[in-house]
Amino acid sequence: MTVDALRLSGIHKSFDGFKALTDAHFAARWGEVHALLGENGAGKSSLMNIAAGLYAPEQGELLVDDNPVRLGGPRDAAALHIGMVHQHFKLVRPFTVAENILLGHPLAQAEGSHRRRMAQLEEQIRARAAELGFAIDPRARIDRLSIAEQQRVEILKVLLAGARILILDEPTAVLTDQEAERLLATVHALSRQGAAVALVTHKMSDVKTWADRVTVMRGGRTVATVDPKATPIEELVRLTVGQSVAASQAATTPAAGGAPLLTVRGLRLHANGRQALDGVDLTLHAGQIYGLAGVGGNGQGELAEALMGMADGLEGTVLLTGEAAPVQGRLPHFAAIPADRYGLALAGGLSVVENFGIGQVQAGRYGPAWRLDRTRMAADTREAVQAFDVQGVRHLNQKAALLSGGNAQKLVLAREFGRTPHLVLAHSPSRGLDVRAGAEVHARLRAARDAGAAVLLISEDLDEVLALADRVGVMARGRIVAEFDQPADRQAVGQAMVNHD
């Protein structure tokens, strides 16, 4: 008889009266990769957070190695060799890579000097990072790493803590094709060595290639568990969203674009002890999506922050419709969708209505800041929540932090597209989103382009860039090293991403 490494049966969980999980089931066996699919807000993360000891179920049973267990917290889960890599990172930003990993590592309780323990840990980090194909400096501070690099640290932290039941929540969302394939190959190899892997993902190709089984959730319930290799992608999509969803396709005729709306010349930025931007030249045209591809950590995040007016010490020239624009402060008629939606786009401790309304406060739509028309703000928010299908909003005064990742992204889109933008910056806009939510984001970007906006799409998902962009650029070592007209050759773009001076 096959032994289940991890089994959750009949799980119920509510938050503030909202039923997030209703009779949910999931089981992962030793020696397998078991994928978990579902729309944003379907309950996947809630279910896995119960397995990781972060939440306690109201009903149901949790078994590890076929033995019933009760988890009092993440430490109990870690003692049972359960480790979870969260989609939204659980890292201490002012700490170094090694200091973060030490927090959950056995060396934290070992005897000997702190310096000696850190030296041992740094050696382990370098060795495991090399095995995974990650370029990680153990002494680098977390707040000086890109989103992609922080994701790699989370993966290293769990593996080095000794986890044999691995829960990975969107682990490849910020990795390039090559990095994702290498990571999943490593995860697959770990499963074949006896580990159990629960893989939460929205990438059907990952499920088809790497998963042994897949469980689908919808509306807090388990819908089905099937063999992904024997199940067509169309059927997996139908199970996930309850209906067919057209995949995002590249435009048959790329938009030529109109007049230049934003021109950047010689943009330079020295940050975190390195030359983050090294002479970026970029032109965005009205009515065109410019897709910027590249391996994470090559200046994409700094470029996005520079265009959002958040970079100090920025040098270079920025022209807006042919006239000089300030390199500090936010550009006018500018919609920004940053990669770190909770850190840069939303204030999790504020309400849904406050997060939405702030986008129009400066414009004066709700009157002076000291006497806001909160009735009008609430009406606008309610209308936007409905128009953008933001799920999980039980009342407008609930904290934005209670929204799932995909619905938080929809709230950002509702706010940023509440006005008609002339310029749009979208950095990894569909990261961690399900098929339907990702398609909706892509439709919004195309609609903005068709309305005449200039759109800059920055993404480490090459499929997303090639599907949306009218023109493709590649960023490496802080500058744009290659540009391609559509239809671009995928192999040529990939080579430009990894082969550069």
The per-residue pLDDT for 325 is 59
The per-residue pLDDT for 247 is 46
Banded model confidence at residue 174, pLDDT cuts 50, 70, 90: low
For 232, list phi and psi in degrees, rounded to 5.
Answer: -60, 150
pLDDT digit string (tens) for 1-15?
568 999 999 999 988
pLDDT digit string (tens) for 129-142?
888 777 889 999 99
Rounded CA gap, 272 and 276, in Å? Answer: 8
Contacts of 54 (CB under 8 A, 6+ apart): 73, 74, 84
Q: Which H, E and C letters describe 88-122, residue by residue?
A: CCCCCCCCEHHHHHHCCCHHHHCCCCHHHHHHHHH
The per-residue pLDDT for 99 is 93
The per-residue pLDDT for 331 is 63
pLDDT at 390 over 80: yes
Burial 137-152 (b: 16+ CB within 10 A, else e): bbebbbebbbbbbbbb
Provide the 3-class DSSP secondary structure of residue 491.
helix
Give, rounded to a whole angstrom, the gap between the first and last alpha carbons of the chain: 56
Banded model confidence at residue 403, pLDDT cuts 50, 70, 90: confident
pLDDT at 95 over 90: yes
Q: What domains can be seen in the chain, in order of their start residue?
A: 4-241 (3.40.50.300), 260-498 (3.40.50.300)
pLDDT at 321 over 90: no
Banded model confidence at residue 324, pLDDT cuts 50, 70, 90: low
pLDDT at 176 over 70: no
pLDDT at 326 over 60: no
pLDDT at 67 over 50: yes
The per-residue pLDDT for 173 is 62
pLDDT at 182 over 60: yes
pLDDT at 272 over 80: no
Query: Which one, of 79, 83, 114, 87, lies nearest residue 99 by Cα?
Result: 114
Query: Are the beta carbons of 37 and 226 closer than 8 angstroms?
Result: no
For the chain, the average pLDDT equals 86
Banded model confidence at residue 257, pLDDT cuts 50, 70, 90: confident
Q: What's the pTM value of the predicted model, to 2 decimals?
A: 0.61
Mean of pLDDT values over 299-312: 86
pLDDT at 42 over 90: no
Mean of pLDDT values over 388-403: 89
The per-residue pLDDT for 273 is 66
More confident residue, 89 or 487: 487
pLDDT digit string (tens) for 418-446?
778 899 999 988 876 767 778 888 998 99
Q: Give the range with max mean pLDDT: 53-67, 126-140, 181-195, 258-272.
A: 53-67
Residue 19: exposed, middle, or buried by beta-carbon count in 10 A (0-12, 13-18, 19+)?
middle
Rounded CA gap, 333 and 423, in Å? Answer: 6
Mean of pLDDT values over 42-61: 93
Cis peptide before 254 (omega within 30 of 0): no
Contacts of 261 (CB under 8 A, 6+ apart): 284, 285, 286, 320, 321, 422, 423, 453, 454
More confident residue, 320 or 194: 194
Residue % of the chain over a pLDDT of 70: 91
pLDDT digit string (tens) for 444-462?
899 999 999 999 999 877 8
Contacts of 272 (CB under 8 A, 6+ apart): 141, 144
Rounded CA gap, 130 and 311, in Å? Answer: 32
Rounded CA gap, 193 and 426, in Å? Answer: 40
The per-residue pLDDT for 22 is 94
